[in-house]
């Protein structure tokens, strides 16, 4: 039976020799499930403040929240309403609403010029919740720093130098998403869940906190509840990391469903760590052997993301589900 393990990023960073290797081995074993829990050094005050302001935003009337809607952004910034995003293997949109944000690049930056959809001008609801912009950008930067550091553990685990991912994710379109899952008793018709079964497109995803249970992960062909130890961050793997590692690190398949009898709502914030769009996702040599030949052809991160945005119903002028 595979299991999700609890590891210590801070021990990896402060240790050498066997102690450091033990963290790498634990992460490698746990990621056979696509998930791992890790100790962290995030500020509790920052988490409390960010979650409080996000709850305030989502409690506003719909017309106020829609002030942060950005047409044509494909979910890469601003507000996305209920019953829009849809798991790629489902025709029933998820019962959730979202606020999305990322760090902007300068107007003349080649990544922004060449990949405008990945780097839209950011819109946050400052007029609705004064002060939220500064807090959410500091939150974004703190989680991204954690993910960048955690990728160093993964890099060593796949036989690369610890800095392998550093350049790849610098100025990448890493996206932070706050999600409100309303009470299931309010859902307008049958067939919808908070979030249908799916795998993320990116390298890794971080979930620092959720206000209620609901996250389930696929382990050994069974859905199990993801219940991290107190104050631990959940890390899960995405499609891009699976391609880079030739499948040695699989996608972390997951869903979000309300527990039977639970009548409340749920809040969470996740961050999707992306490589720069021009990154070529091709299996690294250390993950290709005679016993494990190359499974995936090369594709750019931009093309991989564009395909998935369509599949999950976020391309406004080409909705897969009406």
CATH code for the domain in which residue 10 is found: 2.60.120.330
The pLDDT, as a whole number, for residue 230 is: 87
Residues of the chain with pLDDT under 50: none
Q: Is residue 58 part of a domain?
A: yes
Residue 90 lies in domain: 6-318
Q: Write the DSSP assignment of 231-249 as a string of letters.
A: TPEEEEE-HHHHHHTTTSS
Residue listed under structure tokens 């634990």: 26
The pLDDT, as a whole number, for residue 316 is: 74
The pLDDT, as a whole number, for residue 54 is: 98
Pairing of β 215-219 and β 254-256? antiparallel
Q: Is residue 27 part of a domain?
A: yes
For the chain, the farthest-separated pair of C-alpha atoms sits apart, in whole angstroms, at: 59
Q: Is residue 113 part of a domain?
A: yes
Q: Write the DSSP assignment of 77-118 as a string of letters.
A: SEEE-SS----TT-SS--S-EEEEE-PPPPTT-HHHHH-TTT
Q: Is residue 102 part of a domain?
A: yes
Pairing of β 233-237 and β 222-225? unpaired
Residue 270, exposed/middle/buried by CB under 10 A (0-12, 13-18, 19+)?
Answer: buried
Measured CA to CA, the distance from residue 316 to residue 74 in angstroms comes to 6
Q: Is residue 140 part of a domain?
A: yes
Q: Is residue 1 part of a domain?
A: no
Q: Is residue 303 part of a domain?
A: yes
Q: How many domains is the chain partitioned into structurally?
A: 1
The pLDDT, as a whole number, for residue 1 is: 54
């Amino acid at each position: 039976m595979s299991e999700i393990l609890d590891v210590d990023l801070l021990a990896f960073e402060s240790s050498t020799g066997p102690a450091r290797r033990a963290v790498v081995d634990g992460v490698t074993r746990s990621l056979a499930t696509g998930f791992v829990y890790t100790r962290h050094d995030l500020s509790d005050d920052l988490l409390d403040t960010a979650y409080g302001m996000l709850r305030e935003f989502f409690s506003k009337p719909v017309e106020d929240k829609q002030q942060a809607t950005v047409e044509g952004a494909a979910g890469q910034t601003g507000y996305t309403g209920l019953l829009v995003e849809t798991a790629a293997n489902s025709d029933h949109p998820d019962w959730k609403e979202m606020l999305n944000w990322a760090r902007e690049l300068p107007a003349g930056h080649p990544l922004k010029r060449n990949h405008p959809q990945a780097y839209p001008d950011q819109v946050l609801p400052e007029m609705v919740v004064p002060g939220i912009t500064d807090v959410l950008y500091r939150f974004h930067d703190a989680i991204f720093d954690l993910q960048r550091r955690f990728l160093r553990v993964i890099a060593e685990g796949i036989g690369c130098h610890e800095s392998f991912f550093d350049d790849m994710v610098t100025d990448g379109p890493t996206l932070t998403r706050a999600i409100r899952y309303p009470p299931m008793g309010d859902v307008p018709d049958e067939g919808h869940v908070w979030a249908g079964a799916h795998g993320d497109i990116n390298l890794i995803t971080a979930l620092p906190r959720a206000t209620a249970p609901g996250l389930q992960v696929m382990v050994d062909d069974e859905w199990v509840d993801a219940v991290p130890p107190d104050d631990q961050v959940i890390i899960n793997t995405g499609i891009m990391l699976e391609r880079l590692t030739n499948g040695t690190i699989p996608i972390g398949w997951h869903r979000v469903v309300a527990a039977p009898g639970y009548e409340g709502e749920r809040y969470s914030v996740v961050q999707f760590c992306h490589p720069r769009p021009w990154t070529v996702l091709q299996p690294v040599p250390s993950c290709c052997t005679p016993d494990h030949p190359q499974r995936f052809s090369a594709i750019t991160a931009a093309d991989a993301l564009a395909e998935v945005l369509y599949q999950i119903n976020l391309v406004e002028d080409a909705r897969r589900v009406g």
